[in-house]
Amino acid sequence: QLQLVESGGRLVQAGDSLTLTCALSGPAISDRDLAWFRRAPGKEREFVASINFFHSTDVADSAKGRFTISRDNNARKVYLQMESLKLEDTGMYYCAGGVEGERVGKWDQEYSFWGQGTQVTVAS
């Protein structure tokens, strides 16, 4: 079983930068696709960014040019670097992992393992 623990969320001002970290434990981390999702207040969970086991990345249009996802398999971590934060970036951010060896994409139903989330609040 893959376990994921997010950290780094906090209250920031619009325009600030923030990096979220997801610590991973379990088998075959290097062979899994990983992603960040978020849930804004009153909205459904949405895709933010993903990185596959080839280290290819995909970023939601709303975050493109501002957010960067990366992974360090040796450190067993995945990161979400966020810049130029906006009020609409407020939400609970979740780290998600796929099944070993399976390619997954932007749909949360494709991911089998989830962290508990870390709250990001962007204030004006």
CA 1/CA 98 separation, integer angstroms: 11
Q: Hey, what are 35's tokens?
A: 């992603």
User: How much is the pLDDT for 111?
Assistant: 96
Residue 90 φ/ψ, nearest 5 degrees? -60, 135
Longest Cα separation, the chain: 42
User: How much is the pLDDT for 74?
Assistant: 95
CA distances from 40 to 14, 25, 47, 70, 91 (A): 16, 27, 11, 22, 4
Q: What mean pLDDT is reported for the chain? A: 96
Per-residue pLDDT tens digits for 94-110: 999 999 989 998 999 99
- Cite the DSSP H helix spans in 57-99: none
- Indicate the pairing of strand 91-97 with strand 118-123: antiparallel
